[in-house]
Amino acid sequence: MSPDFNVFQIYCKSVTTKARTGVLYLPHGNVCTPAFMPIGTLGTVKSLTMSELLATGAQILLSNTYHLWLKPGLSLLAQFQGLHQFNNWSGPILTDSGGFQIFSLRKNNITDEQGVTFTVPETGEVRLLTPEISMQIQTIINSDIALVLDSLPPEETNYNLNKEAMEKTLRWAKRCKQEWVKLHQGQWIGSTGYLGTRQNLLFGIAQGARFLDLRKQSAEALLELDFPGYSIGGMAMGPEPEESRLAQVDLQTSILEEYKPKHLLGVGTPLDIVKFVAYGIDLFDCVYPTRNARHGTLFFELDDFTYTSERILHKKFLSDSSPINPKSRFLELRTYSKSYLRHLFKTKEVLAYRLATLNNLEFYHNLMSNIRSKIETQEFDKWWHKFTFQKRP
């Protein structure tokens, strides 16, 4: 362990798991971990203002390099000196590199060693995204944490395709680091910690899909590049046994330096989060709470060990006069009824999306706060095994 590593400081560790609390020190503020990052693909979490997002308990926002590259575009972002001044979010921002779009928009792109050539569906425009260009875009965005451009194969179960993609990701990671150092005037924060002031960080990405030997090779190779933190990718690509997913993360968090922060890309459900915290993950992001909110599914805590979800459009809420969430810090959730929220969804009023999103993000950030508290009081070791989802009738 490096005692001089000041990017991330670990404060408390679980006795029997890899769970830990810590603080990530970034240019736009500190992040207490474990933490969840709401998805603001285009620099906004749908239906919420930045002050509302902050009030839910959010500490850090995730936005997407590829989509911001298209809209609003780099000229406008440069004019505002980055995304923070453009969207008025004062906290830290992490940007995905555009690598996921290699997978999600695979019908509209061609990938080779140089990078990926996208055909933009809306306009037919052709754009080339390389590791170097991804670094340039993320530098203009001025994200506190940038990610290397990674390559995702079209088939998650094909060993050879995943091996090629993992090896390409490592080659691209080297190019990303070289361009990052160039863009940031030769400064590089690795195991040496801060260079006088807080700097924007570049995280490496560990890949390998469900193949443990590829996961091992990827993590070991990343050690040589000495990134200040790591994201673990390929965990949200499709259905896979829980034991397999946990084994993949367990292996890579065991190899990557303990004193550096670990981010799990695209995960997940409340149950996922609690389990992966136990396996050493510090940062999470997922569309799960906000996308579910926009479709009328809300999350609620039942007790210290149990949560549930409710489909507010269900007929049982037609005349339910009880508040949406009597324990909420938001006045609207404490005073508006479930019946009224159902009415808003039925009539497609935009207020419905705002209220449901507030509820779900507040639930997620309360969960993260509870996890941190459980670790600090040494209750986590007994608690996490009992944490469960209860389906309501």
46-87 pLDDT, tens digit per residue, is 999 999 999 999 999 999 999 999 999 999 999 999 999 999
Residue 237 — pLDDT band, cuts 50, 70, 90?
low
Domain residue extents for the chain: 8-286, 293-389
Its CATH architecture, for the domain 8-286, is Alpha-Beta Barrel (3.20)
Give CA–CA dist 328/308, Å, rounded: 16
Catalytic entry in 144, 150, 272, 285: 285
Per-residue pLDDT reduced to its tens digit, 256-290: 999 999 999 999 999 999 999 999 999 999 999 99
Based on the residue annotation, tell me whether 285 is a catalytic residue of this protein: yes
Task: Indicate yes or no: pTM above 0.75.
Answer: yes
Of 204, 219, 194, 210, which Cα lies nearest the Cα of 147?
A: 204
CB atoms within 10 A of CB 194: 15
Any bridge partners for residue 204, and if so which? 230
At 134, give phi and psi (nearest 5°).
-60, -40
Alpha helices in the chain (DSSP H): 50-55, 65-70, 74-79, 83-87, 100-104, 131-141, 159-183, 212-225, 242-255, 270-278, 288-294, 331-335, 338-346, 350-376, 380-386
Per-residue pLDDT reduced to its tens digit, 151-164: 988 777 899 999 99
Tell me the one-letter amino acid at 206. Answer: A
Could you give the angle at the alpha carbon of 41 between the alpha carbons of 122 and 359, nearest 5°?
125
Per-residue pLDDT reduced to its tens digit, 298-340: 999 999 999 999 999 999 999 999 999 999 999 999 999 999 9
Catalytic entry in 4, 96, 213, 250: 96
Helix (H) or strand (E) holding 5: none
Based on the residue annotation, tell me whether 226 is a catalytic residue of this protein: no
Of 12, 11, 8, which Cα lies nearest the Cα of 375?
A: 12
Q: What pLDDT shows up at residue 134?
A: 97
